[in-house]
Amino acid sequence: MKIGKSPLNTIRLLENISLGSAVFAVVLCVLIIVNYIQIKRADPLNTPAMTILVEKLQNDPGNDQLRQEIRTLDLLARKAFFTSQWQVRMGGYLLFISILLLASCIKTIELIRVKLPEEPAGKPALFWETTRLRRTWLIYSGAGLVVLTLLLAWLTHENLGKDFESGTVNRESGIVNRESGTVNRESGTVMRDTSASHQSPVTSHQSASDYPTMQEVKNNFPCFRGPGSIGITERTGIPVSWDGKSGKNVKWKTAIPLPGNNSPVIWNDRIYLSGASESKREVYCVDAVSGKILWTSTVDKIPGSPSQVPGVSKETGFAAPSLATEGRRVYAIFANGDLTAFDMDGNKVWAKNLGMPANHYGHSSSLIMYRDILIVQYDQRSGPAVMGLSGKTGEQVWKTARNVKISWASPSLVNTGKRMELLLAAEPCVASYDPLTGKELWKLDCISGEVGPSLAYANLLIFSVNEYSTLSAIRTGENPKVIWENNEFLSDVPSPVANDDFLFLVTSYGTAVCYDATAGTKYWEHDFGTPVYSSPMLAEGKLYIMDKKGLMHIIKAGKEFAQISECPLGEGSFCTPAFTNGHIFLRGDKNLYCIGK
CATH number of the domain where residue 234 is located: 2.130.10.10
Give the model confidence (pLDDT) of 509-556 as tens digits: 999 999 999 999 999 999 999 999 999 999 999 999 999 999 999 999
Q: Do 232 and 123 belong together in one domain?
A: no
Higher pLDDT, 121 or 93: 93
Boundary of a domain, candidates 160, 182, 204: 182
* Averaged pLDDT for residues 229-244: 96
Residue 353 CB neighbours (<10 A): 17
The answer to whether residue 21 sits within a structural domain is yes
Boundary of a domain, candidates 167, 182, 197: 182
Phi, psi of 466 (to 5 degrees): -160, 150
Cα 545 to Cα 494: distance, rounded to the nearest angstrom: 10
Instruction: Please report the beta strands in 210-336, taking only residues with DSSP state E, as ranges in sequence order.
Output: 232-233, 250-255, 265-267, 270-276, 281-287, 293-298, 324-325, 329-333
Mean pLDDT of the residues in the chain: 83
Widest CA span in the chain: 109
The answer to whether residue 474 sits within a structural domain is yes
The answer to whether residue 543 sits within a structural domain is yes
Q: Do 162 and 303 belong together in one domain?
A: no
318, 335 Cβ separation under 8 angstroms:
yes
Boundary of a domain, candidates 182, 202, 237: 182
Percent of the chain with pLDDT over 70: 75
Decide the pairing of beta strands 429-433 and 420-426. Answer: antiparallel
For residue 38, with 0-12 CB atoms within 10 Å meaning exposed, 13-18 middle and 19 or more buried, which class applies? exposed
The answer to whether residue 171 sits within a structural domain is yes
Cα 200 to Cα 592: distance, rounded to the nearest angstrom: 13
Cα 547 to Cα 531: distance, rounded to the nearest angstrom: 6
Give, in degrees to the nearest 5, the angle at Cα 188 between 184 and 193.
115
HEC sequence for 308-338: CCCCCCCCCCCCCCCCEECCCEEEEECCCCE
Q: Do 417 and 524 belong together in one domain?
A: yes
Give the model confidence (pLDDT) of 454-500 as tens digits: 999 999 999 999 998 999 999 998 899 999 999 999 999 999 999 99
Q: Do 459 and 411 belong together in one domain?
A: yes
What's the one-letter identity of residue 185? R
Q: Do 292 and 240 belong together in one domain?
A: yes
What's the one-letter identity of residue 256? I
Q: Do 472 and 586 belong together in one domain?
A: yes
Instruction: Specify the DSSP element, H or E, that contains 485.
Output: strand 481-486
Cα 156 to Cα 33: distance, rounded to the nearest angstrom: 10
pLDDT score, position 141: 61
The answer to whether residue 198 sits within a structural domain is no
- Beta-bridged to residue 233, according to DSSP, are 539
Confidence of residue 28 (pLDDT cuts 50, 70, 90): confident
What's the one-letter identity of residue 348? K
Q: Do 167 and 236 belong together in one domain?
A: no
pLDDT score, position 154: 62
Give the model confidence (pLDDT) of 114-168 as tens digits: 554 444 555 555 544 554 555 555 555 666 666 666 665 665 555 544 444 444 4
Cα 150 to Cα 471: distance, rounded to the nearest angstrom: 30
507, 485 Cβ separation under 8 angstroms:
no
Percent of the chain with pLDDT over 90: 62
Q: Do 114 and 229 belong together in one domain?
A: no
Cα 168 to Cα 175: distance, rounded to the nearest angstrom: 10
- Beta-bridged to residue 578, according to DSSP, are 585
* pLDDT above 70 (res 303): yes
Q: Do 575 and 496 belong together in one domain?
A: yes
The answer to whether residue 377 sits within a structural domain is yes
The answer to whether residue 207 sits within a structural domain is no
595, 573 Cβ separation under 8 angstroms:
no
Instruction: Specify the DSSP element, H or E, that contains 77.
Output: helix 64-112
Confidence of residue 199 (pLDDT cuts 50, 70, 90): very low
* pLDDT above 90 (res 226): yes
CA distances from 387 to 340, 379, 430 (A): 15, 10, 17
Residues 307-322: b if buried by 16+ CB within 10 A, e if exposed:
eeebebbebbbbbbbb
Sheet order of strands, 420-426 included: 412-415, 420-426, 429-433, 440-445
Higher pLDDT, 351 or 83: 351
Q: Do 132 and 277 belong together in one domain?
A: no
Give the orientation angle of helix 125-166 with respect to helix 5-41, to 10 degrees.
Answer: 40
Output the pTM of the full model. 0.70
* pLDDT above 80 (res 320): yes
The answer to whether residue 411 sits within a structural domain is yes
Q: Do 357 and 414 belong together in one domain?
A: yes
For 139-204, the DSSP string reads HHHHHHHHHHHHHHHHHHHHHHHHHHHH--EETTTTEE--SSSS--GGGSS--TT-------S---
Q: Do 147 and 229 belong together in one domain?
A: no
Give one word for 569, left, alpha or beta, with left for phi > 0 and alpha for psi -120 to 50: alpha
Q: Which residues contact 34 (CB under 8 A, 6 or more apart)?
A: none
For residue 262, with 0-12 CB atoms within 10 Å meaning exposed, 13-18 middle and 19 or more buried, which class applies? buried
- What is the SS3 assignment for 249? coil
CA dihedral 282, 287, 293, 297 (to 10 degrees): -30
Residue 296 CB neighbours (<10 A): 15
Number of domains in the chain: 2
pLDDT score, position 371: 95
What's the one-letter identity of residue 144? G
> Which structural domain range is residue 56 located in?
5-182
Among residues 321, 313, 361, which one has the least CA distance to residue 186? 313
pLDDT score, position 152: 59
